[in-house]
Amino acid sequence: MSGGGPAGGERMSGVTVCCPVVFGCVAFLLGKDGDELHTHCWTLYVRGAHGEDISYFVSKVVFTLHASFEPPTRELTEWPYEVTEKGWGEFEAKITLHFKDPAERPIDVPHPVKLYADAGMPAPGPGVPVVTERYDEIVFTDPKEGFFACLMEGQTAAVREHPQLQYYKDFSAEEDVQKLAAAREYVHGELEAVKDRILRLDAQIKDTPASSGSGSGSGSGSGSGSGSGSGSGSGSGSGSGSGSGSGSGSGSGSGSGSGSGSGSGSGSGSGSGASSGSGT
């Protein structure tokens, strides 16, 4: 593999790596040690799914808190990635992960700072926290060679001791593993479908010649006209007619007579002719 650190090397086409993480909040009721504005002590964090250090692929984590906290934005560049504060209200924070390879886009994850048990649930006893955790997987598609090496080395990262480790949820249960595996397959399939569509569009663009335009036009028209007529009488007569564009004809005579007329025109034309006659 090429050197150059996590950002070095070529992208590895067709390679997908999933890194399991947990976003969480642990909140303790302060009781008599608190006051009206500081009823709880809480810790907002992101960790490895089994409590391991995620620094092998994360360069920094930015926590964006409620505007009432000073400062509302906290940036951490090493383990543990967590923020501890005291307060009285619940709110939704934002956790932003930045990665070792700067070519990988940071991701924003909302997570609630939850202080109280859900409605209908008993309140936790003294010293028992309200824990809100969410399992997720960070999926890297076609990582660079250097970053891929970091991801592989981190897969065996050891669990690190932490004061709140006992409160962390275990996400290794068989049912959870099956659900997550199914979700992973779905995400992978969606990513592959998107990649296929992009490749097809690229191929269509390359096959499309440079656009040019020319135009020509021609037109022709013709017209014809015909007419017929009949007449009766004693005697004889005949009539004929012609016309350009349109034609008409007339005739007179006595006897049994008939007449016809025809016309033709260039462009468009119509013609009619009729003859009738009476004569003595």
Q: What string of DSSP letters covers 75-133?
A: EE-SSSEEEEEEES--EEEEEEEEESSTTSPPEEEEEEE--SPPTTSPPP-TTPPEEEE
Please report the pLDDT score of residue 274 as a whole number.
Answer: 43
Q: Looking at residue 173, what is its pLDDT?
A: 57
Residues 237 and 229: their CA atoms lie apart, in Å, by 12
> Is residue 57 within 8 Å of residue 150, measured between CB atoms?
yes
189's enclosing H/E stretch is helix 174-207
pLDDT for 279 equals 37
Give the model's pLDDT for residue 210: 60
pLDDT of residue 120: 84
Beta strands in the chain, from DSSP E residues, in sequence order: 16-29, 40-48, 58-64, 73-76, 81-87, 91-99, 107-113, 130-141, 222-231, 237-241, 250-253, 257-266
Q: For residue 127, what pLDDT is reported?
A: 86
pLDDT in tens, 64-87: 999 999 999 999 999 999 999 999
Res 193: pLDDT: 78
Report the DSSP pairing between strands 58-64 and 91-99: antiparallel
Q: Which domains does the chain have, with CATH numbers?
A: 5-198 (2.60.40.1970), 233-280 (no CATH)
Cα–Cα distances (Å) from 121 to 25, 28, 116, 130, in that order, read 18, 16, 10, 11
CA neighbor of 251 nearest in space, from 264, 266, 265, 241: 241
Q: Which amino acid is at 35?
A: D
Q: What is the pLDDT along the chain (280 residues), one digit of tens a residue?
A: 444 567 788 999 999 999 999 999 999 999 899 999 999 999 999 999 988 899 999 999 999 999 999 999 999 999 999 999 999 999 999 999 999 999 999 999 999 999 999 988 888 877 899 999 999 999 999 999 999 999 998 877 777 888 888 888 888 755 555 666 666 666 767 777 777 788 888 888 888 766 544 444 444 444 444 444 444 434 343 444 344 444 344 444 343 444 444 444 444 444 444 434 433 3
Partner residues linked to 44 by β-bridges:
25, 83
pLDDT for res 183: 65
pLDDT of residue 181: 64
Rounded CA-CA distance 149/244 in Å is 90
**Residue 138, φ and ψ in degrees, nearest 5:** -90, 120
